[in-house]
Amino acid sequence: MIWENHTFNSNFILLGIFDHSPTHIFLFSLVLGIFTVAFMGNTIMVLLIYLDTQLHTPMYLLLSQLSLMDLMLISTTVPKMTFNYLSGKKSISLAGCGTQIFLYVSLLGAECFLLAAMAYDRYVAICHPLRYSILMSQKICCLMAVSSWVVGSSDGIIIIAVALSFPYCGSREIPHFFCDVPALLTLSCTSTLLFERLMFICCVIMLLFPVAVIIASYVHVIMAIIHMGSGEGRRKAFATCSSHLMVVGMYYGAAMFIYMRPVSDRSPTQDKMVSAFYTILTPMLNPLIYSLRNKEVARAFMKVLGKGKSGEQIA
């Protein structure tokens, strides 16, 4: 009964990241622009890979899943933030908060393991090209993609079940622009130390294990690239791997900064800035990095545009 009185009497209040000063209005407009580019870019990537049969390979299947995850991630936070800012209503229900936490944590966890799968794919393609069709068959690739979703969702279920088991009281004001677990824990009426330790263990599994796989894969990849006899092959391999490493660096660096520090060492301003980086900016950069540096994606895009123009001329 006490838990019910503390938790269900009112909604949470999202304090947001912007006020209505001219500078913040400009920044809010910039975020909307980034959201639009990210939404369109990731949607186009998913559709291109689905429509172009030449992109039905393990590497592009994994890339389509990354774009789908980014599309869902940015749609989890930005629309609600936009509605609250424009309407002046900063409240979010317990169910809405729980949904945000589940989707956010699940997608972050799924991306961690998907990026590790993409690193393994590049390792096999460059270090064992003759066995690529066996080691990275469509069945194995689909299993990796599905496993990423399952592991991420399992992490989301555990975190949301424990996070919402705490009684919340006080001002009920979350110093963030969405329901993030570390920000929510500051409102708890009881000690969350045990849960913080659980979160740290989850982060070690969800972040450090995939990072270890990625580092091991790229150590072998770099050694293989150095010993390549063909300059053209070396350039192509380096271009493909550098795109992936850019994404990995941005994603894991920000995630570790947020989730592998104790709550007592956190600054709400820092957390909001870093969260905005990898929940809003990174989903925009991913399709740009992969499409601008990838001739096959550019070819598929021009092919679709060509078909569209041909259809218009016939009509």
pLDDT tens string 100-123: 999 988 998 899 899 899 889 989
Residue 300 lies in a domain: no
CA distances from 47 to 110, 123, 174, 307 (A): 20, 26, 37, 14
In angstroms, rounded to a whole number, what is the distance separating the alpha carbons of residues 275 and 71? 16
CB 124 within 8 A of CB 134: no
pLDDT of residue 285 exceeding 90: no
Residue 305 maps to a domain: no
What is the domain range of residue 200? 14-287
Average of pLDDT values for 280-293?
A: 77
Q: Is the pLDDT of residue 78 over 50?
A: yes
Residue 273 pLDDT greater than 70, yes or no: yes
Give residue 307's pLDDT band: very low, low, confident or very high (50, 70, 90): low
In percent, the amount of the chain with pLDDT more than 90 equals 21
Q: Is residue 307 part of a domain?
A: no
pLDDT of residue 124: 92
What are the Cα distances from residue 300, in Å, to 34, 48, 214, 220, 297? 24, 7, 28, 30, 5
- Position 272 confidence tier, pLDDT thresholds 50, 70, 90: confident
Q: Is residue 294 part of a domain?
A: no
Half-sphere exposure of 1 (CA within 13 A, CB side): 0
Q: CB within 8 A of 17, min separation 6: which ones?
A: 81, 176, 177, 272, 276
Strands 12-14 and 91-92, by their bridges, are antiparallel
Q: Which residues contact 127 (CB under 8 A, 6 or more apart)?
A: 220, 221, 224
Neighbours of 241 (CB within 10 A): 20
Structure confidence at residue 33 as a pLDDT band (50, 70, 90): very high
Instruction: Among 22-31, 170-179, 191-200, name the one with the lowest average pLDDT.
Output: 191-200
Report if residue 306 sits inside a domain.
no
- Find the mean pLDDT for residues 238-257: 72
Mean residue pLDDT of the chain comes to 81
Distance in angstroms (rounded) separating the CA atoms of residues 233 and 223: 14
Give the best-scoring range by mean pLDDT among 11-20, 161-170, 199-208.
Answer: 11-20
In CATH, what number is assigned to the domain containing residue 173?
1.20.1070.10
Q: Band of the pLDDT at 5, cuts 50, 70, 90? A: very low
Instruction: Tell me which of 281 and 99 has the higher pLDDT.
Output: 99
Q: How confident is the model at residue 144 (pLDDT cuts 50, 70, 90)?
A: very high
- Extended strands (E) in the chain: 12-14, 91-92, 173-174
**Distances from the Cα of 278 to the Cα of 141, 244, 293, angstroms:** 26, 15, 21
Confidence of residue 308 (pLDDT cuts 50, 70, 90): low
Q: Model confidence at 263, in pLDDT bands (50, 70, 90)?
A: low
Pick left, alpha or beta for residue 10 (phi over 0 → left; psi -120 to 50 → alpha; otherwise beta): beta
User: And the tokens for 274?
Assistant: 């870093």
Residue 302 lies in a domain: no
Supply the pLDDT for residue 148: 95
Q: Supply the pLDDT for residue 1.
A: 39
Residues 265-277, mean pLDDT to the nearest whole number: 70
Q: What whole-number distance in Å separates Cα of residue 95 and Cα of residue 168?
A: 14
Which own/partner contact pairs does 294-299 have at CB distance under 8 Å and 24+ positions apart?
294/240, 294/243, 296/54, 296/55, 296/60, 297/45, 297/48, 297/55
Our count of domains for the chain comes to 1
pLDDT of 140 > 50? The answer is yes
Structure tokens that stand for 168 in this block: 């919340």
User: What's the confidence (pLDDT) of residue 3?
Assistant: 41
Q: Report the percent of the chain where pLDDT is more than 70.
A: 82
Residue 243 contacts residue 294 (beta carbons within 8 Å): yes
Q: Give the 3-state secondary structure percentages of the chain, helix then strand then coil, rounded to 5.
A: 80, 5, 15
Is the confidence at residue 314, as pLDDT, over 80? no
Task: Check whether 65 has a pLDDT greater than 90.
Answer: yes
Q: Is residue 311 domain-resident? A: no
- What's the pLDDT score for residue 204? 77
The DSSP symbol for 293 reads T
Q: What is the DSSP letter of 188?
A: B
Identify whether 241 is part of a domain: yes
Chain center to CA of 61: 16
